[in-house]
Structure 1
Amino acid sequence: MPSNKRINKLAKLAVQVGANVQKDQVVIIRGTTESKELIREITEEAYLAGAKRVFVQWSDDFVSKSSLKHASVEELEKVSQWFIDQHQEAVDVGACFISVTSPIPGLNEDVDPNKAQKAGIAVQKAVSFFREHLMGNKAQWTIVAAPNPIWAKQVFPKLNEEDAVEALWDAILNASRVTEDNDPIQEWENHNAVLLKHNKILNDYNFKHLHFKNSLGTDLIVELVENHVWAGGGEHATNGAYFNPNIPTEETFTMPYKWGTRGKVVATKPLNYQGKLIDGFWLEFKDGQVVDYDAKKEKDALTNILDTDEGSRYIGEIALISHDSPISNTNILFLNTLFDENASCHMALGRAYPMNVKNGVNTPISELEKIGYNNSMVHSDFMFGSEDMEIVGVTQDGKEVKVFEKGNFVI
């Protein structure tokens, strides 16, 4: 275990910079039993920050797996009213949310992917109002991570369990900009300023589309929605609070035009989805839609993402990250999207963020769809950046601008 001082710093960071808990606000912490030490620290820090009440919603991946293996599909598709009411009350009281991820990649390898998919869709439909609430920045929310022995051994297979957990703790804390003797809150203030500069440069160019190419086979054009907004780092919730959704984060991202993606993209890192590791996959797009695809591992899980609903074969996010960046330079494959997406350019199949178009958070989803916003029950990020990625941006008047060369920003 790292020092209590560093874990406490991460907890304080999650509360003050991640969710930016406001005085007399209700805080809801969501996490698995694997991360109880960090959750206890976050609970204490949330009260010290002035929270009126802190509630913890516990889950356990092994318990969830048992349900998926043994319960019937019909039973799994039933969503209890108390579960829906719990989410509605959180919205009604203006709560903010802190999630602590501690995944067990590959846990559900032997689970019927169709059961997992149907159970997930049922939950998404039942609490769709909650997803819209968070993705529309109607409340502050953030995600941080804590290790567990199984995850740690997969990331560091050559180490014994204790050393692997120690190494993963260290990697998580370093990626989150938490060291023994620094002030992570000041570090994040500086980091947000750098990301804001990237956003401004890209927003000023106002590209019509981006063209991605590398030696692995990616040759993709992504058209951007009109009046798109590049964002990254901190964001403002509609209550005015400035928060950081992801700790860590290195990305600057925006909204693609739903029907404007064409060509082929080749993933460069595995995607952990519902406990299954999808690896060695590629997608081909035409008029925005995935028309062909393959995967060397867990193709069925990839099919399940794509077949979730009408919007899951289109993309809702495109994000740029230099190959020469802190998380990428660790050469650690975290097997967790929170980290791996911040080591590589990535895109998301599924739902877009309203904040990525001008006045989007104040516009009904039905109106956003008319301008090319992609609506879906899923938002699955996957990584396709590489050290030889070349990106050319084309402006509204047809001018070509080199954005990336040899995997890194050059603007």
Structure 2
Amino acid sequence: MVSQDILRKYARLAVCVGANVQKGQMLVISSSVECAYFARMCVEEAYKAGAGEVLVLWDDEKITKMALQNESTETLANIAPWRIEQKKNCIDKKCCFLYIESATPGFMADIDGQKMQIVRIAKETAFEPFEYYTLANVGQWSIVAIPTVDWAKKVFPKLGEEEALESLWDAVLKSVRISAENDPVEEWKRHNQNLLRHNQILNDLRFQSLHFTNGAGTDLTVELIKDHIWAGGCSQAKNGAVFNPNMPTEESFTMPYKFGVRGRVYATKPLSYQGKMIEDFYLDFKDGKVTDFHAKKEQETLKNLIEFDEGSCYLGEVALVPYNSPISQSGILFLNTLFDENASCHLALGTSYPDNLKNGTEMKREEMEKLGSNYSKIHCDFMFGSADMSIVGTTFDGRKIQVFKDGDFVID
């Protein structure tokens, strides 16, 4: 199976390049109990890097499911004050966050969707005052994933448990650029530079809108906010630390103009949301808002997503990912947005990221909204890229430029 040396490389990468904990800084790790062995390694690496304090918050999806099955909606939606105070305390200490993900795709498929919606809204409302900390990159944060047997069997259903787990580990390690021979820290330095180069090209072109078309039926125009900024790869926190929010990452992304999206988009990959898998769906947009939608599977879950709050029916992100990116070329459907969004161009329903707007991290929410930024308590990516994707950009001075042809950049 995966060697201790490889796991150690991954833990060091997550802590020192992903979250990039600084000397004396507090690191908060959120992890499934199934990933305890990896979380412990991350704690060790954090202390080696000089972390002043490490807090680990444990989760177990099986226990969470039992709670959803047996507790009342009222009980589940009552967020304990100590949990809110704990979050506040960590942010007051100017911590950084590391999220270790291992959710089983579709695990909550048989749980009442409306119950989950009410509980999710209660949680998002309770912790809303702290969302700025990661949304505006005030502090560092990063998400990595650890394969489990349950997840692996969903991705490779025809394989036995051991072979499926080994195959998923192989795919995950390749996606985060770790091998027995290399130095992944150096690999990520080069990768971040490549992404920054793409971002600079896109920023220099100053697009007013992007028009997406493909054979799946997508015909969508996305206007961009006037002073948008393309980002992707590494980010910089207010303390100056450079970190990687998502590992893996292959995207260049920016902020749509809230009221400037029109047309229809077809998803090309399933979307995991609230532990359910939404499949074969499309969205219609007019004046930026979703006006119609349909999913062949989990229609109610898609409805819950779109109707989560006032901003969840508008877009907060548009991201470009070449079809020939490594994760896409692996041919593996991870059934996990962290990976699948980096195999495909994607859009996000919900809130916008302040660093995608000039001086956005210095603005209040109301100032951003006046300029056409979207706000929501959620941010949910869905994938719509394809091998035949065409993207034509229109600049603010009226020029039309082919950005993607046959699924890949043509502006290098």
Instruction: Please name the residue that 2:96 is paired with.
Output: 96
Instruction: Please name the residue that 1:350 is paired with.
Output: 350
Task: Determine the C-alpha separation between the residues in 2 that align with 1:19 and 1:77.
Answer: 30
Task: Determine the C-alpha separation between the residues in 1 that align with 2:38 and 2:384.
Answer: 31
Instruction: Please name the residue that 1:36 is paired with.
Output: 36
Instruction: Please name the residue that 1:245 is paired with.
Output: 245
Instruction: Please name the residue that 1:303 is paired with.
Output: 303
Deviation at 1:192?
0.4
Does residue 135 of the first structure (1) align with residue 135 of the second (2)?
A: yes
Listed one character per residue, the Cα deviations across residues 112-151 of structure 1 (whole Å, up to 9, x for unaligned) are 0011111011010011022221111010000000011111
Q: Which runs of 4+ in 1 moved over 2 A?
A: none
Instruction: Please name the residue that 1:171 is paired with.
Output: 171
Listed one character per residue, the Cα deviations across residues 279-324 of structure 1 (whole Å, up to 9, x for unaligned) are 0000000000000000010111100001110000000000000001
Listed one character per residue, the Cα deviations across residues 361-380 of structure 1 (whole Å, up to 9, x for unaligned) are 11111110100110001101
Between the two proteins, what is the percent identity of the paired residues?
Answer: 53
Task: Determine the C-alpha separation between the residues in 2 that align with 1:37 and 1:147.
Answer: 12
TM-score normalised by structure 2 residue count: 0.99
Instruction: Please name the residue that 1:393 is paired with.
Output: 393
Task: Determine the C-alpha separation between the residues in 1 that align with 2:206 and 2:399.
Answer: 11
How do 1:253-268 residues align onto structure 2 when only pairs under 5 Å count? 253-268=253-268
Task: Determine the C-alpha separation between the residues in 2 that align with 1:205 and 1:52.
Answer: 43
Deviation at 1:36?
1.4
Gaps of at least 5 residues in structure 1 are none
Task: Determine the C-alpha separation between the residues in 2 that align with 1:132 and 1:111.
Answer: 30
Deviation at 1:108?
0.8
Task: Determine the C-alpha separation between the residues in 2 that align with 1:140 and 1:58.
Answer: 20
Task: Determine the C-alpha separation between the residues in 1 that align with 2:70 and 2:328.
Answer: 40
Does residue 72 of the first structure (1) align with residue 72 of the second (2)?
A: yes
Listed one character per residue, the Cα deviations across residues 11-70 of structure 1 (whole Å, up to 9, x for unaligned) are 000111101110000100001112112111111100000001111000011111111111
Task: Determine the C-alpha separation between the residues in 2 that align with 1:131 and 1:7.
Answer: 31
Task: Determine the C-alpha separation between the residues in 1 that align with 2:292 and 2:188.
Answer: 41
Structure 2 SS opposite 1:177: coil
Task: Determine the C-alpha separation between the residues in 2 that align with 1:32 and 1:118.
Answer: 23
How do 1:11-410 residues align onto structure 2 when only pairs under 5 Å count? 11-410=11-410
Deviation at 1:77?
1.5
Structure 1 SS opposite 2:88: helix
Structure 1 residues 31-40 or 107-116, which shifts more?
A: 31-40
Structure 2 SS opposite 1:367: helix
Task: Determine the C-alpha separation between the residues in 1 that align with 2:285 and 2:188.
Answer: 37
Task: Determine the C-alpha separation between the residues in 1 that align with 2:63 and 2:274.
Answer: 14
Gaps of at least 5 residues in structure 2 are none
Task: Determine the C-alpha separation between the residues in 2 that align with 1:403 and 1:237.
Answer: 30
Task: Determine the C-alpha separation between the residues in 1 that align with 2:170 and 2:39.
Answer: 18
Structure 1 SS opposite 2:300: helix
Task: Determine the C-alpha separation between the residues in 2 that align with 1:288 and 1:69.
Answer: 37
Task: Determine the C-alpha separation between the residues in 2 that align with 1:65 and 1:154.
Answer: 18
Deviation at 1:73?
1.4
Task: Determine the C-alpha separation between the residues in 2 that align with 1:307 and 1:76.
Answer: 20
Task: Determine the C-alpha separation between the residues in 2 that align with 1:130 and 1:334.
Answer: 30
TM-score normalised by structure 1 residue count: 0.99
What amino acid is aligned across from residue 406 of structure 2 in structure 1?
A: K
Structure 2 SS opposite 1:285: strand
Listed one character per residue, the Cα deviations across residues 261-293 of structure 1 (whole Å, up to 9, x for unaligned) are 000000000001111000000000000000000
What amino acid is aligned across from residue 221 of structure 1 in structure 2?
A: T
Deviation at 1:167?
1.0
Task: Determine the C-alpha separation between the residues in 2 that align with 1:283 and 1:181.
Answer: 45
